[in-house]
Chain A
Amino acid sequence: EAQVTQNPRYLITVTGKKLTVTCSQNMNHEYMSWYRQDPGLGLRQIYYSMNVEVTDKGDVPEGYKVSRKEKRNFPLILESPSPNQTSLYFCASSLDARGYGYTFGSGTRLTVV
């Protein structure tokens, strides 16, 4: 089954403790992206990747890192999480960046206390 797999689904952590949210897709998509969703703000792009070893900042990249060493994986790293990073996170993949072909992961609800 074609899918984007995100883990974990739920995470509660403390301020400053490094964490990684994993994202993996099995569709051989070149484009992958991370979004955060907050009430009233919609989905805001954190980082995106056009292909292996090609990543770039989205609209809200501060406090996040990503890597794209393999085509299928696009982990999101929070080196020193803070409470304002409490949010719902989605990974998405697509053949290209145009949006209509996005497949979203199931989401990760992160709480930083």
Chain B
Amino acid sequence: EDKVVQSPLSLVVHEGDTVTLNCSYEVTNFRSLLWYKQEKKAPTFLFMLTSSGIEKKSGRLSSILDKKELFSILNITATQTGDSAIYLCAVGGWKTSYDKVIFGPGTSLSVIP
């Protein structure tokens, strides 16, 4: 059965800390891994990763994929209170005749001043 697992499920850090969020997966016919940030309402897209070992970077956020070991990490350096959110990992795969995206449970990050 396809699944996406994230760890930790919840994390509290102080401003300025660096955090690493983990995502592991088992998905049929892997196509891509996606990271989303969800604040008080709808998720917003952060990264899409399709190739192993190539880091995607946006400001203080970066992510990398390991397709051999079936996992990805999302790093946030010098955290700020505005980084407080749920971070969702989603994995896209191909099933029979359609693409399917499976979401993990999310990691709830709280950054305290």
Contact = CB atoms under 8 A, between A and B. Distances in A.
A90 interface: yes
Q: Majority SS of interface residues in chain B?
A: strand
Interface stretch (B57-65, B75-83, B103-111): B103-111
A96 B99 contact: yes
A84 B101 CA distance: 24
A50 B98 CA distance: 9
Interface string A68-104: 0000000000000000000000100000111111101
A93 to B, nearest CB: 12
Given A90-B42, A106-B42, A41 B105 contact: yes
Contacts of A45: 100-101
- Interface size class for chain A? 20 to 34
Nearest to B43: A104
Interface in A22-63: 35, 40-45, 50, 56
> Chain B interface residue count: which class?
20 to 34
* Chief secondary structure at chain A's binding surface: loop
Of B6, B41, B104, most A-chain CB atoms within 10 Å? B41
B105 A42 contact: yes
Interface of A: 35, 40-45, 50, 56, 90, 96-102, 104-107
The 3 closest A-B pairs by CB, nearest first: A104-B42, A99-B101, A97-B99
